[in-house]
Amino acid sequence: MSRRIVAFFASSFLSVAMSIPASAIEAEGFVLEVNEEARQLQLSDGQTYDLPNDFDYGAVLPGMPVHVIYDVASGHNIYPFSA
């Protein structure tokens, strides 16, 4: 009986997890440019990401490898991802 209960909960969890759309998008690359005035970060693949007002620009330098988790809103790549 316990196997059936475990199987039921496992299948229930997977069903619920698969029905939730993934809204965060991930990207990796090297920093090409950090534009503090425009509040943007550009990666070596040409993609540009809008940064928040409180972003620490001293922590990111051109040439650094980065992993960005972002969301798309109004056609802009927005960092950080906010659920």
Tell me the per-residue pLDDT of 30-54, one tens digit each, with 9 for 90 and over. 999 999 999 999 999 999 999 988 8
The whole-angstrom separation of Cα 57 and Cα 55 is: 6
pLDDT, tens digit, 9 for 90 and up, residues 17-31: 454 445 678 889 999
pLDDT of residue 19: 46
CA dihedral (47, 50, 55, 59) in degrees, to 10, reads 10
Whether 24 contacts 67, CB under 8 Å:
no
CB 26 within 8 A of CB 67: yes
Instruction: Choose among 37, 27, 35, 12: nearest CA to 77.
Output: 27
pTM: 0.65
58 secondary structure, DSSP code: G
